[in-house]
Amino acid sequence: MTLAYPAYPADAAILIGRFQPFHNGHAGLLQTALTTAAQVVVVLGSAFHARSPKNPFTWQERAAMIAATLPEAQRARVHYVAVRDYYDDGLWADAVRRAVAGALPAAQRVTLVACFKDATSYYLHHFPHWQLLNLEIDAGAPIGATAIRNVLFEAEDVDVSLSAVAQLLPAAIGQYVKAWTLLPWYAPLVQEHRAIEAYKARWRTAPYAPIFCTVDALVQTGGHVLLVRRGGYPGKGLWALPGGFLEPRERLLQGALRELAEETQLGVLAPTLVEALVGVAVFDHPDRSQRGRTITHAHYFDLKTRQLPEVTAADDAALAEWVPVASLPAMEEQFFEDHFHILNHFLQLTHEGR
């Protein structure tokens, strides 16, 4: 049986966001999208991340939350696509367009339903070929997912905290989030949130927002890369490249070699590593770290040997290990901050260009 839809002004409506979590403001945008087009594509951004206080829910969980707020007839009209963060606006916009085209290849008239809440909404300007439907924010009742997450992770009593934000969430979302807080990853995320807030608090009295400089080392050889598991918050237990903050009197390469030695005790002489340096890339996206504006210089070394040098975890690394390059794509959701993106930049793991 073919369903007959009324004459909509668009074939497809697009809704883009992280929806962490999906709240009443998002629900209003979705209902507008459903009245605008027969089919709606919800683009779930920041997909494939490790869980963090900023991105606590997987894209599958977010899709399930959104679907739970809809009646069955509307649920069948909504499609979900997951798009990772690329830390490159052009690559990200291309990925969104590909995902939408894959979900609704026949759509000709496409409307982007959006709400420009602040400067962070600039990404919505990357789709000039779509008709833009820009909805106004109700200034008297602003809704922000960040504030909701803060309440969730700063809760002394989860039930009390959820009741405080209940009016901002569809009923189904409040129930979902309450059940979600009983799962194993909630408590570690509370600890992560506290660690990040404590880190930021140390710099709140600075006359201006600090910009931090870090260095990372990507060492490849024998079809493997050298990774560490982080021993403390933030990112406790996640895979990362060896690295850390640059010291006041260091050059960048010196800092990368020092951090590499401190965290892995890699059994390779510094001159050998210098000869093996293939390239350096700067990763400076303002949102790459939840700790604040952090610019890193990633150094890529290729030892070109078959044997894997000995490594031993030290300093703030809980584990140092050679990991097969072929295993990395399946590990994307286990990496700290943008370290998978750094690996992808040098090793082309997702075959989508830089």
Is residue 327 over pLDDT 90?
yes
Segment 224-243 mean pLDDT: 97
| Topology, domain 212-347 | Nucleoside Triphosphate Pyrophosphohydrolase (3.90.79)
Strands (E) in the chain, as ranges, are 10-17, 37-47, 78-84, 110-114, 131-134, 212-221, 224-230, 239-240, 243-245, 277-283, 294-302, 317-324
Q: How do residues 166-180 score in pLDDT, each as one tens digit?
A: 899 999 999 999 999
Which CATH number describes the domain made up of 10-187? 3.40.50.620
Domain ranges of the chain: 10-187, 212-347
Q: Could you tell me if 283 and 342 are in contact, meaning their C-beta atoms sit under 8 angstroms apart? A: yes
What's the confidence (pLDDT) of residue 354?
40
Neighbours of 308 (CB within 10 A): 15
Residue 251 has pLDDT above 70, yes or no: yes
Average pLDDT of the chain, as a whole number? 92
At 353 the pLDDT is 45
Count how many Cα atoms sit within 13 Å of the Cα of residue 278 in the half-sphere of its side chain. 14
pLDDT class of 5 with cuts at 50, 70, 90:
low
How far CA 252 is from CA of 116, 211, 315, 342, in Å, comes to: 39, 16, 19, 17
Residue 213, pLDDT score: 97
This prediction has a pTM of: 0.90
pLDDT digits (tens, 9 = 90+) for 93-124: 999 999 999 999 999 999 999 987 776 778 88
295 forms bridges with which residues in the sheet? 213
For residue 82, the model assigns a pLDDT of: 98
CB 57 within 8 A of CB 46: no
Confidence at 186, pLDDT banded by 50, 70, 90: very high
Residue 138: what pLDDT?
60
The b/e string for 189-223 (b: 16+ C-beta within 10 A; e otherwise) is: bbebbebbeeeeeeeeeeeeeeeeebbbbbbbbee
